[in-house]
Amino acid sequence: MKPVERPPSDLRARVLAAASRAPSTRPGTWSRRVLGVGAFALVWTMAAVALVRGRSDWGELPASSVALTFAVLLAVAGVALGAGLTRGRAMAGPPLERLAIVVAVGLTALLALVLAVDPGGPSTKQLSGAALWWHSVPCAALETGVGLPLVAAVLVPFAGLSLARPGLTGACVGLAAATLAHAVVRFHCGLGGSDHALLGHLLPGVPLMLLGAWFSRARVVERLLERIGRSSEERP
Amino acid sequence: MLADWMGPPPQAPLERAMDRFAAGDDAALGEVYDLAAPAVYSFLKGLCRDPQRAEDLTQETFLRIHRARGLFRPGSPVLPWAYTIARRLFLDDVRARRAERVVAASGGAPGTAGADGSAPAGEAARALETAAAGPSAEELFADQELSRALDEALAQLPEAQASAFRLLKGEGLSVAEVAGIMGTTRGAVKLRAHRAYLTLRGLLRGRFGAGDGSLPAAPAVGQAIGQKGAEAK
């Protein structure tokens, strides 16, 4: 291979001049962004829970299945957020192996939860046929509505970084956001049956993950932040 | 515990400069540039095969580093980060140019400065000028010819294979670092580099093994990339 070539001597002056005009992020921006996203996710989820109210049959649900359901949902959300929301050693985002494992295991765990655990009581409604489809639409809409701002928010810390795997990183943090939204819907929805849980609670998570992948690949959040105006963390 | 007792590991000058820059020392950017720019420019020039584009992308790479300085994790290796940014910019640039070509379906001017390999006489003259300082003119010419042929052969490879080969063998990064930069697994990096090596060997042997006495013989080609490729297996 050829030896390292030195760039033209005038390039240094051009880079320094351009940098002196361009805004830059302040020290500690990553930590502030992550804390901000954490606070937003907590407040948003709590507000959604308060707004949608708990399901009508809440009192008669078996405690063990309720505990298992929310434990799995929070665990998947936490692990996906922890694995995806990192700069990585080389500042290129999390490694591919970790992302792939977390997304695959997370989706499998959610699928197993939906199919195997159905927290329902004697008065929990079970639907089938066309009614199943129609009653799944509000749940899917609620999950998408709660999840969409979360997906956008969890990508804010990455604004300005060049990720080696932007699509998969977006999908991983999208999984975390979708799972939190799933928990809100699970808290609210009084319909039983794994068919409804699959259609109304699990499947809406897939477009949210795809949206996270697209947002991350196309730098949608970064461009949006730039358009809104240089935030206070940047200095001239 | 032992690590605590021993203190943090010693940092390279580039990492120290970047830490100062990330902490708010504006003047450290010049030092970061001086230490990282040759490697970044060389990597980009190898990918683009166009000095002007390589300059533009090098400038944009350092501007990205400048903008993202507050996101830098102190102590992280800087060059892999810079390579990640540079490669991503190169891929975006390729996509943008491809889109432009689709829009302007009539096509632009073929070839760019230095990319068409049409100046062997100039290179030979330069080789002769510097011959007095070291190796013979024939050796220098053969080295330059081989180097140019290797660049041309690398340009024929898929970007993923060429980048893996350049980062691993040209820039001397570890398999793990290249995997991080390219967003893939270590096994995939080894496979890409090995495939690149096999293709390069075939291309260069096809070119130099034809028996033209003025060009390096096949064993020289094998020597140029052989050890590097063998390490990638």
Give phi and psi for A85, each to the nearest 5.
-90, 65
Query: Do B70 and A30 count as a contact with CB atoms less than 8 A apart?
Result: yes
Distance from CA of A226 to the nearest CA of B (A): 12
Q: What is the pLDDT of residue B5?
A: 53
Report the sign of the C-alpha dihedral through residues B227, B228, B232, B233, in that order.
negative
A13 in reach of chain B (CB within 8 A):
no
Whole-complex ipTM:
0.76
A90 in reach of chain B (CB within 8 A):
yes
pLDDT tens sequence across A119-155: 776 666 777 777 778 888 999 999 999 999 999 999 9
Q: What is the pLDDT of residue B120?
A: 40
Query: What are the helix and strand counts (H, E) for chain A?
Result: 9, 4
Say if residue B17's pLDDT is above 50. yes
Domains and CATH numbers, chain B: 10-103 (1.10.1740.10), 120-232 (1.10.10.10)
Q: What is the pLDDT of residue B49?
A: 79
Query: What are the helix and strand counts (H, E) for chain B?
Result: 11, 0
Residues of B in contact with A11 (CB under 8 A): 37, 41, 55, 58-59
Q: E strand or H helix at A24, and its extent?
A: strand A24-25
Question: Measured between alpha carbons, how far is B42 from A82 in angstroms, rounded to an integer?
Answer: 36
Q: What is the pLDDT of residue B227?
A: 45
Say if residue B133's pLDDT is above 60. no
Chain B residue with Cα closest to A167: B183
Reduced to 3 states (helix: H, G, I; strand: E, B; else coil), residue A77 is helix
Q: Which residue has the higher pLDDT, A79 or A136?
A: A79
Q: Which residue has the higher pLDDT, A233 or B205?
A: B205
Q: Which has the minimum average pLDDT: A15-19, A48-52, B129-133, B171-175?
A: B129-133
Residues of B in contact with A28 (CB under 8 A): 70
Say if residue B113's pLDDT is above 50. no
Region A160-166: mean pLDDT is 87
Structure tokens at A69: 């359901």
Say if residue B116's pLDDT is above 50. no
Chain A residue with Cα closest to B53: A7
Q: What is the pLDDT of residue A144?
A: 94
> A139, A125 in Cβ contact below 8 A?
no
Q: Which residue has the higher pLDDT, A189 or B233?
A: A189
> B196, B164 in Cβ contact below 8 A?
yes
Residues of A in contact with B42 (CB under 8 A): 2, 4-5
Q: Which residue has the higher pLDDT, B144 or B70?
A: B70
Chain B residue with Cα closest to A14: B59
Q: What is the pLDDT of residue B74?
A: 87
